[in-house]
Structure 1
Amino acid sequence: MKIGIYFKRFSRLAAEVALKVAEECSRRNLDVYIERTLIENEDLENKDIVDLMKKYSVGVFKLETPGVDVIAVIGGDGTLLRVFHMLGNPRIPIMAIRMGRRGYLLDVTPIEISDRIEDLTKGRYKIVEYMRLSIRDNETIYPPALNEVAIVSIGMGRSKVIRLKIYKDDKPLYFMEGDGIIVATPIGSTAYSMAAGGPILDHSLKGFVITPLAPVQTWLRPIVVDANSKIRVLIAEDSQEAYAIIDGQFSVKLQPGRSLVVERHPDPAKVIRFHDIDNAYERLFMRL
């Protein structure tokens, strides 16, 4: 089995945990590969650990063209989301190792590493698929979103009201003025959307939620739509410019008159789960 390792850059703790992963994998005769940017970047603080990891590795891999069976990701939500955005082969499952208190999809804690890698070699795990969002306009296809895409106003010094027309399957859903909207997946419904007053969707549901942000029209409420829906968000001609922010990692400026189409992505994110996922709500509320 080929195991790729990627950890949060400039984090000493994450680098030390990554070294532990490399040691445990090598001890079980698993082929260890280090992600290329960890070797080539300017993270001088962790250069000594990366050099130690090389003793256990048989080569390097690229997230864009991984060529491994499993990728162990060590860090937090941002690190995991970054990997999913960069991953060239969505069929490769991720073993996520959590470095903080939150991190709903990061299933493994550092003290569990030895046991979980043993479980991995014995096949004692599940691969759970999580829906992602496809995001495009007339010119560009953007990175898929695991959590959400937020179309928001960002002004210098203060937020500016933007005007949006929302369509579902090419039929008008509503017109809104406010700070923007969020289109979130079920897993993303527990993130930014929830903080904005949106509902929590059960992860088994095939749908996504549209959550308005501070709308002038106070009657507007979040709407849950079927996963097969096509949502189009049009920036009105008389609106301020807006920004589309994907999973808090990637942003693009949207001028008035431009629209963004959001649909279900054909390739879900694949996450290795070792623990009981039926207690999802208990785990969620413990971390709030």
Structure 2
Amino acid sequence: MTYGARAVAVGLVLHPTKPVDPSVDTIVASTRGHAVRILAREIDRQRVPVEVEVVPDAQFVAEVDGLVALGGDGTMLGAMRLVVDRPVPVLGVNHGNLGFLVEVAPAQLPSALEQLTTGDFSIEQHECLEVGADGVELMTRFGFNDVVLSRSGRTGAVSIDLTVNDVHFGYYRGDAVVVSTPTGSTAYNYAAGGPILSPSSAAIVITPVAPISGISRPVVLGVEDRISLAPAADSAPIAIDVDGTLAGELRHGERLTARVRPEAAQVVRISATEHARRSRVKLSLLDLPLRPDQLLELIPLELRHKAEAAISQSRAPITDSP
């Protein structure tokens, strides 16, 4: 397998703590005898076999023709952000928990790699939010799920003015404000009572969290709309989180802007139909008024031991991060 006149370069993005060695070994074994380079970043040098070429981060980003993200949704989002300036296909292998973005289970990886070799897959384009802030050096500027403005302390409320296309739209006062893409609409936005947006919709949604006054319901805007959020004088200190990672703080007199960057990532779908079906089931489970252990009562006795093992795994601390 070649890419033009050179070997294909496949980059590995590993969850920082979860054991993903079996999947790495599967990928390495699948490329033997093919013109494929497997690359990893310096941070993962001690976690990959000798067949994997460890390169500096800048070279990794410049040379990869595709990525395999081994982890959960956080790892997948981190992989997408790595190549936001030159999007390449990203395949997600689920070593996390629920996982809405990642599609392939580790046991399915050999067959998924075979489908990649034969070209039996599709590409799902994803937009992202490109975030800027006057006078603030943001640690993360691209969000594929959401941007959240929330209290940086335990007291007070955030008070934020919303401007759309240079027109003052209103204000928020409450615990937080979530600006979400269609991809991220099933995350914090959904938990806060916001709508689920179709992945094909050209829209973003702004949802207040525990509103006290001002705009109290979600607002859906178009991807061409220019959004500006500015703290009011009476606001509590505001933390900026991008895809669940602290990116900076916003103070009175400063302003955060967000705009949509279209086609910012290419997500590999081995079976888009099956992935969509599983995602709907996962969302349905989130809405059930039952804890995971209470779900056992709905499962036949002969299958409960497998379910119990899955529930035990789900109770492990969630450490997935980009």
Is 1:6 matched up with 2:13? yes
SS in 2 for 1:243: strand
SS in 2 for 1:132: strand
| Structure-1 residue corresponding to 2:187 | 191
Change (3 A) 1:107 1:278: closer
| Structure-2 residue corresponding to 1:145 | 143
Query: Where in structure 2 are there 5+ consecutive unaligned residues?
Result: 1-7, 287-322
- Partner deviation per Cα, 1:115-168 (whole Å, 9 max, x = no partner): 11111111111111111001002244642100000011121xx34212110111
| Structure-2 residue corresponding to 1:19 | 25
- Asked if the contact 1:132/1:268 (under 8 Å) is kept, the reply is yes
Q: Could you tell me how far apart the structure 2 residues matched to 1:77 and 1:268 are?
A: 17
Q: Could you tell me how far apart the structure 2 residues matched to 1:236 and 1:197 are?
A: 24
How far the C-alpha of 1:2 sits from its partner, in A, is 1.8
Is 1:259 matched up with 2:255? yes
Q: Could you tell me how far apart the structure 2 residues matched to 1:77 and 1:129 are?
A: 16
- Partner deviation per Cα, 1:221-260 (whole Å, 9 max, x = no partner): 0011101111100101222221110001232111112110
How far the C-alpha of 1:68 sits from its partner, in A, is 1.6
Which has the higher mean CA deviation after the structures are superposed, 90-99 or 185-194? 90-99
Task: Choose from 163, 170, 187 the match for 2:166.
Answer: 170
Query: Where in structure 1 are there 5+ consecutive unaligned residues?
Result: 40-46
- Asked if the contact 2:150/2:239 (under 8 Å) is kept, the reply is yes
- Asked if the contact 1:66/1:88 (under 8 Å) is kept, the reply is no
Query: 1:93 is aligned with what amino acid?
Result: P
Q: Could you tell me how far apart the structure 2 residues matched to 1:11 and 1:2 are?
A: 24
- Asked if the contact 1:104/1:284 (under 8 Å) is kept, the reply is no
- Asked if the contact 1:170/1:230 (under 8 Å) is kept, the reply is yes
Query: Between Structure 1 and Structure 2, how many residues are aligned?
Result: 274
How far the C-alpha of 1:78 sits from its partner, in A, is 1.5
| Structure-2 residue corresponding to 1:154 | 152
- Partner deviation per Cα, 1:182-235 (whole Å, 9 max, x = no partner): 000000000010001000000100110000111112762001110111110010
In the TM superposition, 1:82-231 aligns within 5 A as 82-87=78-83, 89-139=85-135, 140=137, 142-155=140-153, 158-217=154-213, 220-231=216-227
- Asked if the contact 2:208/2:215 (under 8 Å) is kept, the reply is no
How far the C-alpha of 1:101 sits from its partner, in A, is 3.8
How far the C-alpha of 1:28 sits from its partner, in A, is 4.3
- Partner deviation per Cα, 1:78-106 (whole Å, 9 max, x = no partner): 11222233336432111111113411111
SS in 2 for 1:105: coil
Change (3 A) 1:120 1:72: same
Q: Could you tell me how far apart the structure 2 residues matched to 1:106 and 1:272 are?
A: 9
Change (3 A) 1:282 1:263: same
Query: 1:154 is aligned with what amino acid?
Result: S
TM-score if structure 2 supplies the norm length? 0.79
Is 1:272 matched up with 2:268? yes
- Asked if the contact 1:4/1:61 (under 8 Å) is kept, the reply is no
How far the C-alpha of 1:267 sits from its partner, in A, is 4.7
TM-score if structure 1 supplies the norm length? 0.87
Change (3 A) 1:202 1:254: same
Change (3 A) 1:181 1:59: closer
| Structure-2 residue corresponding to 1:240 | 236
SS in 1 for 2:241: strand
Change (3 A) 1:115 1:25: same
Q: CA RMSD in A?
A: 2.1
Q: Could you tell me how far apart the structure 2 residues matched to 1:83 and 1:11 are?
A: 16
Query: 1:150 is aligned with what amino acid?
Result: V
| Structure-2 residue corresponding to 1:79 | 75
How far the C-alpha of 1:10 sits from its partner, in A, is 2.4
Change (3 A) 1:178 1:227: same
Q: Could you tell me how far apart the structure 1 residues matched to 2:224 and 2:94 are?
A: 32
